[in-house]
A and B are shown apart, each in its own frame.
Chain A
Amino acid sequence: MYSRMTEIAVGLFVAAGIGALVMLAMKVSNLGAFSDTEGYIVNARFENIGGLKVRSPVRLGGVRVGRVNAINYDQDRYEAVVEMTIADGYDRLPIDTAANIFTSGLLGEQYIGLEPGAEEEYLDSGDVIELTQSAIIIEQLIGRFLLNEAGSE
C-alpha cells in the first residue's frame, strides 16, 4: 500500500517537526535556561516593588540564580511580599543577605538583586530576607529633585 520511502519521508517529517518544537522550547524560550521547580523558596518584604512581575529574574552579582514566584500584599504590615525560587546550586547565601529591586538599563525590566551578607548561617527554604530596598520610582525621583530645586532657590 505504501512504500518504504514514504515511511522514511514521514519519519523524517515527524522527527523534523518534533526537533523544531524542541528547538523552540530549549533554544528560544526560557524553559531550557532555568526551571522553576528545582530550588528553594525565600521571601522578601518590600515597601514598593515598582514594576516587578512574577517570573522576573533574581540575580546575584549580575548572575541569574532564580526567579520571582509570586507577589502578594500583606495587609497587616502594609508591605508587598515577594516569593522567589533560588536554584539549589546557590544554597550558601548568608542570612543577612540584602535584596534590592533594580532596573536593567534605563528602560529595561526590573529584577531582584541579592547582595550577600557576612553571617555564618545560610538562608534556608521559607526564610525571610529582612534587609530590603524598594524599587526606585522615577516619578518620586523627579518629584524630589523638583522639590530640592525649589528649596535651594
Chain B
Amino acid sequence: MFEPIRLIGEAALRKIARLGQASLFISQVIASLPMLLRRFSLVVTQLYEVGVLSIAIIVISALAVGMVLGLQMFYTLRDFGSEQILGQVVALSLVRELGPVLAGLLFAGRAGSALTAEIGLMKATEQLSSMEMMAVDPIKRVVAPRFLAGVLSMPLLAAMFSSVGIIGGYLVGVGLLGVDSGAFWSLMQANVDFYDDILNGIIKSFVFGIIITWIAVFEGYDAKPTAEGVSRATMRTVVHSAFAVLAFDFILTALMFGGN
C-alpha cells in the first residue's frame, strides 16, 4: 500500500541528492575560477568554441524573429491606427523577454549540448582519469574554462540577439511596410528605459548563461562513461536547460517587472 508513496519519495530524494552533487560540483568549479586569470588562453579557446561558433545561429534566428515580430505586430497595430509604436513594441518584447529567452534556448541547443558531449566523451575515453593520473585537476583544466566561457558568452549573444532582432523589425516595418523611420526610433527611445528594460534583460541573460552552462558541464562530467550515457546526458542538458530557462524567466520577470 505504501509502495507508490515510497517510489515518489525515492525519486524525490534522488533528485535532491543530484542537485546537491551539482551544487558541490559548481562550487568546486567556481573555486578554481581565479586560477584561470593566469591561464586565460584556455578561456579564449573556449570562447571561440562556445561563443564565436554560436554567432551564426543567433544572428540568423534573431533576424527572422525580428522580421516576423514586425510583420505580425504591424497588422494588429494598424487596426488601431497606431503602427508608429511598432518600434517600441518590437524593442520591448525583444529586450525584455525574447532576446534573453530565445538566445538562451538556442545557446543550450548549440553550445550546451556540445559542451556536455565533449566532456562526456572525454570521460568515456578516460581522458579525465588520465589527467588525474598526471596530477592535473580536470575541473580546473577542462570544466572551469568552459564554464567561464559560457557565462561570458551568453550576455553578449543575448545582446546581439536583441539588436539584430530590432534591426530585423526595422527592415520589415520601415523598409517593407512603410512605418515612419523617425517615429520608429523616437518612440522606441522614449519608452525603452536603460535600467528597467535593457539592464534587466542583460541580468536575465547572465543568469541564463550561468544556469545553462552549469547544467551542461555537470551533465557531461556526471555522464555514464558509455556511448548511451553520453547521448542521454546531452539530451538531458538540452531538455533541462530549456525548462530551467523558461522557469527562471517567469520568476525573474515577476521580480523585475512586477513593480509597475
Assuming the A-B contacts A13-B55, A13-B156, A24-B95, are A7 and B44 also in contact, with contact meaning beta carbons closer than 8 angstroms in the complex? yes
A120 to chain B, nearest CB (A): 34
A70 at the interface (CB under 8 A from B): no
| Residue numbers in A under 8 Å from B189 (CB-CB) | 27-30, 32-33
Q: Are A17 and B44 in contact (CB under 8 A)?
A: no
Q: Which residues of A contact B48 (CB under 8 A)?
A: 2, 6, 9-10, 13
Which A47-100 residues sit within 8 Å CB-CB of chain B? 55, 57
Contact check, A10 vs B47: say whether CB atoms are below 8 A apart. yes
Bound together, the chains give a CA A128 to CA B155 distance in angstroms of 44
Given contacts A14-B156, A30-B194, contact A6 B55 (CB under 8 A): no
Binds A, one of B2-10, B123-131, B158-166: B158-166
Alpha-carbon distance between A96 and B164 when the two chains are bound, in angstroms: 48
For window 197-222 of B, CB contacts with A under 8 Å fall at: 197-198, 202
A7–B47 alpha-carbon span in the complex (Å): 9
Point out which of A10, A18, A55 has the most chain B C-beta atoms below 10 A from its C-beta: A10
Q: Does A31 contact B (CB under 8 A)?
A: yes
CB contacts (< 8 Å) of A137 on chain B: these are none
Interface residue from A17, A21, A28, A57 paired with B188 (Cβ < 8 Å) = A28
8 A Cβ contacts from A1-16 to B: 1-2, 6-7, 9-10, 12-14, 16
With A10-B48, A21-B202, A24-B95 as given contacts, are A31 and B194 in contact (CB-CB < 8 Å)? Answer: yes
Chain B residues bordering chain A, tally (CB within 8 A)? 31
Q: Map CB proximity to A onto B142-165 as digits: 1 under 8 Å, 0 otherwise.
A: 000000000001011101101110
Known pairs A30-B190, A31-B194; A17 contacts B159 (CB<8 A): yes
Closest-CB distance, B254 to chain A (whole angstroms): 21
> CA of A29 to CA of B92 in the docked complex: distance in angstroms?
10
Chain B, residue nearest A19 (CB): B163
Asked whether, in the complex, the Cβ of B190 is within 8 Å of the Cβ of A18, the reply is: no
| Nearest chain B residue, comparing its CB with the CB of A9 | B52
B132 at the interface (CB under 8 A from A): no
Contacting residues, chain B, for A17 (C-beta < 8 A):
51, 155-157, 159-160
- Whether A10 touches B155, Cβ cut-off 8 Å, given contacts A27-B185, A28-B192, A29-B197, is no
- Contact between B52 and A13, CB atoms less than 8 A apart: yes
Q: Is the CB of B45 within 8 A of A6?
A: yes
Judge whether B137 is part of the interface by a CB distance below 8 angstroms: no
Chain A contacts for B185, CB-based, 8 A: 27
CB distance from A153 to the nearest CB of B (A): 35
**What is the chain B residue whose CB lies nearest that of A23?**
B163
Chain A neighbourhood of B45, CB < 8 A = 1-2, 6
Complex interface: chain A residues within 8 A of B198 (CB) = 24-25, 28-29
Give residues in B with beta carbon < 8 Å to A.
Answer: 41-42, 44-45, 47-48, 51-52, 55, 91, 95, 153, 155-157, 159-160, 162-164, 166, 185, 188-190, 192-194, 197-198, 202
Interface pairs A-B: 6 shortest CB-CB: A17-B156, A31-B194, A20-B159, A20-B163, A29-B194, A2-B45
